[in-house]
Amino acid sequence: MWTQRLMWIAWPAFLVAAVLEMVVFAFVDPSDLHWFGSPLALSREAVYTLAFFVFWGATMVSSALTTLLAMSPFEVNRCPIPEGERPSDCAKNSRCG
């Protein structure tokens, strides 16, 4: 189940990061970028790579938040411990009820 959710997060984020990379670098030349007034000491490929991972990370956070907000209250509050292995006071815990 977690593998499926991870793919719900990572795959769309990967696709959006790829499109965002193409759109941004269609208008921005990596050799023209400056950091605190001085030119970046990175190759074009390094800038492309770093930008892609920044875009991918940002869109993964967005996808993860969407996936979290789409969970039902039952999924959020259910006890992760199988019923036969729960401690005796687990019935008092709202997460295990």
pLDDT digits (tens, 9 = 90+) for 63-78: 999 888 888 887 777 7
Residue 63 resides in a domain: yes
- The number of domains in the chain is 1
Domain that holds residue 33: 2-92
Residue 69 resides in a domain: yes
Residue 97 resides in a domain: no
Residue 68 resides in a domain: yes
Residue 50 resides in a domain: yes
The pTM of this model reads 0.70
Residue 37 resides in a domain: yes
Label residue 37 left, alpha or beta by phi (over 0 means left) and psi (-120 to 50 means alpha).
left
Nearest CA to 48 out of 70, 31, 67 is that of: 31
Query: pLDDT tens digits for 1-50?
Result: 778 888 889 999 999 999 999 999 999 888 888 888 888 888 889 999 99
Q: Classify residue 19 by its DSSP letter.
A: H
